[in-house]
């Protein structure tokens, strides 16, 4: 006997825009937009994702929804808690799809997001420290009342900040911050990541705030979510976004989970630029922002700027722009970490060998004027050098050296 379809309602902001189902194998996910969505917006509008344009047919949506879930040990633990296999994508998003990246919410049957407003469990410093210490056994701090997920490999948990206090969200309550624990193999990593994020803020490439907090000698970085926004009414709203792998319908699990890197078949900068060119109101301006982002990652020596660490915001139905930068780690500060460009720059694979002409030539391949591209590189480098005194000494030396090297012919 054939298995009965299992279905979820796919909500974007306050509207049910689609249905998600699985038949047969639970890793096969199919999506169909609702009649209401097809009536409200033109066909082929990239509504939920650039890879899922508005249409009338059921379409394969596994790569988009897989992109909402974590990787590695975190995914295994979430699956064990939900009593499903790691390949049961439908079971996983059914269990954890209330608070995910972007503005999408998954609800069973005819339920609406307002039917489950969620709640908050307060932390004090001691209980939060205990939570952080237990993340190896309880990734993402998942409990029976947790209905949340976040992509990535690193140990982290999701928090809500209200009235100067920290809370654990329950039942799909939207989180406001992400706490990430320092990898003990690379002491000082979160301090340098925080410094890189603050530098990106001063240069105008991100808008999020960061803090470094130590719990029982373990440093953690707490990052404000750019896909959450507090309205004038005081209500917290989700903001829709997706990473480049999702936007390109990319299976990043291929090549043993390494297909987010271009060296292992992952997306290129050209592919990301094509998304911006196709779906932006002002493609030229957004391509210049991409040039600035590439320049910034090159100068700080970030070899982990892969396609899942680059995202786009859906500013309105059918229109996108480059999202604020995040996960900015100057990997060049650790000799044991590779010097491979996560996304190749004018075919240059070694990040330390990238020069300004490589970035300009890469941008020219996106049909951006070479003169504009060069000026964007120079402006970005100049702004970074103006803020050296705000950086930790070791990081400042790295940025100064790589910035001046980048500008050499």
Q: By the 8 A CB rule, do 31 and 57 touch?
A: no
Active site members: 304
Q: What predicted TM-score, i.e. pTM, was given to this entire model?
A: 0.96
- At residue 5, the pLDDT reads 58
- Which of 109-118, 155-164, 367-376 has maximum average pLDDT? 367-376
What are the tens digits of pLDDT across the range 58-115?
Answer: 999 999 999 999 999 899 999 999 999 999 999 999 999 999 999 999 999 889 988 8
Q: 213-243: per-residue pLDDT in tens?
A: 999 999 999 999 999 998 877 789 999 999 9
**308-351, pLDDT tens digit by residue?**
999 999 999 999 999 999 999 999 999 999 999 999 999 999 99
Percentage of residues of the chain with pLDDT beyond 90? 90
Q: If you average pLDDT over residues 265-287, what whole number do you get?
A: 97
Q: Which pLDDT band, with edges at 50, 70 and 90, does 160 fall under?
A: very high
pLDDT at 233: 75
Contact status, residue 110 vs residue 198, Cβ threshold 8 Å: no
> Strand, coil or helix: what is 390?
helix
In this predicted structure, what is the pLDDT of residue 232? 72
Within 34-113, strands assigned E span 59-60, 104-108
Q: Return the pLDDT at 2.
A: 40
- Summary mean pLDDT of the chain: 95
Which CB contacts under 8 angstroms, 24+ apart, belong to 53-61? 56/32, 57/32, 58/21, 58/30, 58/31, 58/32, 59/30, 59/31, 59/32, 60/28, 60/29, 60/30, 61/20, 61/29, 61/30, 61/31
Residue 130: predicted pLDDT: 97
DSSP code for 84: S
- Whole-number pLDDT of residue 116: 83
Res 3: pLDDT:
46
CB 55 within 8 A of CB 33: yes
| Percent residues over pLDDT 70 in the chain | 99
The alpha-carbon radius of gyration of the chain (Å, integer) is 21
What's the CA gap between 17 and 39, in Å, rounded?
11
pLDDT in tens, 111-154: 998 888 899 999 999 999 999 999 988 889 999 999 999 999 88
Domains and CATH numbers, the chain: 6-107 (no CATH), 118-224 (no CATH), 239-406 (1.10.1070)
Side-chain-facing half-sphere of 139: CA atoms under 13 Å? 21
């Amino acid at each position: 006997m054939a298995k009965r379809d299992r279905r979820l309602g796919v909500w974007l902001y306050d509207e049910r825009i689609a249905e998600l189902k699985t038949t047969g194998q639970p890793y096969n996910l199919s999506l169909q937009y609702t009649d209401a969505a097809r009536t409200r917006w033109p066909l082929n509008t990239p509504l939920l994702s650039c890879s899922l344009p508005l249409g009338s047919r059921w379409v394969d949506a596994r790569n988009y929804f897989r992109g909402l879930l974590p990787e590695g040990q975190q995914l295994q633990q979430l699956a064990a808690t939900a009593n499903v296999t790691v390949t049961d994508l439908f079971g996983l998003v059914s269990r954890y799809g209330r608070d995910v990246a972007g503005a999408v919410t998954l609800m069973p049957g005819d339920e609406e997001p307002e039917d489950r407003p969620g709640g908050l469990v307060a932390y004090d410093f001691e209980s939060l420290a205990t939570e952080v210490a237990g993340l190896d056994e309880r990734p993402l701090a998942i409990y029976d009342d947790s209905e949340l997920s976040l992509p990535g490999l690193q140990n982290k948990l999701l928090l809500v900040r209200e009235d100067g206090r920290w809370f654990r969200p329950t039942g799909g309550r939207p989180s406001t911050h992400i706490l990430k624990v320092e990898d003990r193999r690379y002491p000082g990593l979160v301090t340098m990541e925080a410094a890189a994020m603050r530098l990106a803020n001063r240069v105008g490439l991100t808008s999020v705030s960061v803090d470094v907090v130590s719990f029982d000698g373990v440093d953690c970085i707490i990052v404000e979510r750019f896909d959450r926004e507090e309205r004038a009414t005081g209500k917290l709203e989700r903001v829709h976004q997706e990473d480049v792998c999702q936007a390109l319908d990319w299976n990043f699990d291929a090549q043993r989970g390494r297909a987010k890197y271009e060296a292992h078949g992952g997306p290129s900068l050209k592919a990301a630029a094509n998304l911006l060119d196709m779906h932006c109101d002002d493609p030229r301006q957004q391509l210049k922002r991409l040039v600035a982002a590439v320049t910034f990652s090159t100068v700080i020596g970030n070899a982990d700027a892969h396609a899942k660490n680059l995202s786009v915001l859906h500013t309105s139905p059918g229109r996108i722009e480059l999202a604020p930068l995040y996960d900015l780690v100057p990997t060049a500060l650790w000799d044991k970490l590779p010097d491979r460009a996560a996304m190749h720059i004018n075919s240059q694979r070694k990040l330390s060998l990238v020069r300004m002409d490589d970035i300009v030539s890469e941008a020219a391949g996106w049909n951006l004027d070479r003169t504009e591209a060069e000026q964007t590189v120079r402006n970005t480098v100049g702004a970074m050098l103006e803020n050296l005194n705000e950086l930790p000494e070791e990081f400042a030396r790295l940025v100064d050296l790589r910035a001046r090297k980048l500008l050499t012919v």
